[in-house]
Structure 1
Amino acid sequence: MVAQLIWIAAVYGLAVALVHILKHRERTRHAGRFSKRLHYILITRNHEAVIEGYIRMLAWRAFRAGKAYQVTLMDDESRDSTVAVAVRLARSGSAIEFVPLMQLQGMQERQTVIDLRMPGSGGSQSIRGEY
């Protein structure tokens, strides 16, 4: 009998927490509609193994913030299937656009640039200041 009451209380508590999370997310989404969308520039070269993880991580951060996001992928002559993985993610609904690396000069003023070509950085310093 006591175990059943504990289960009822736990389910009720989870339901209350879920309602609060959804309410907070809806509030931040309305506030975020008038603010800028999150825009990331991702520079890659032979990053087939990690590109999907980075794009999904950026999508998750935007989801948590309740904002729209855009990833601009600039590939630096990859010889593996980095671009093919990104195209597959774009077709499945990720907000990815592909731009030649030569256009980086004018784009990096207001966006967060994540250069995966730099050894050791992994782009984590660029992303950390976002929230």
Structure 2
Amino acid sequence: MAPIQRLRPDGLVSSPAFSHVAVVPPGATMIYIGGQNAVDASGALVGEGDAAVQSARALDNAKTALEAADATLGDVIQWTVLFVEGADLAAGYGAIAGKLVSEEPPLVTAAFVTGLGVPGALVEISAVAAVERQ
């Protein structure tokens, strides 16, 4: 099976933080992680009002979901990070950015939204991963 490729084509901005294209060959297992908020196992919000704490917890929840599918953060080919307008982006993204970057960085989409489904949530993180299975 061909390897999963993450591309940063000439003519597009080159960043160590993200790639622009992911090519997943036939035979790879695709894993989709739905939006994760900063909630504990009982559904209670963690880190009310703190974008950094919420971002870290949401990413931890995404990691737990990935592990349930025998995948890791390094298998993620695309992250989507949504912040509620007014949230401290520097603190929130700063709390997770180092964990999103790898030798072959994933694709990253980040956006501000007016609200999320969990009352008080400041961030939601979803992911698409691909694993080469033998």
Question: What TM-score comes out, normalization by structure 1 length?
Answer: 0.40
User: Larger relative contact order (C-alpha < 8 A, sep ≥ 6)?
Assistant: 2
Q: Which has the higher strand share?
A: 2
TM-score (norm: length of structure 2): 0.39
Between structures 1 and 2, the one with greater helix share: 1
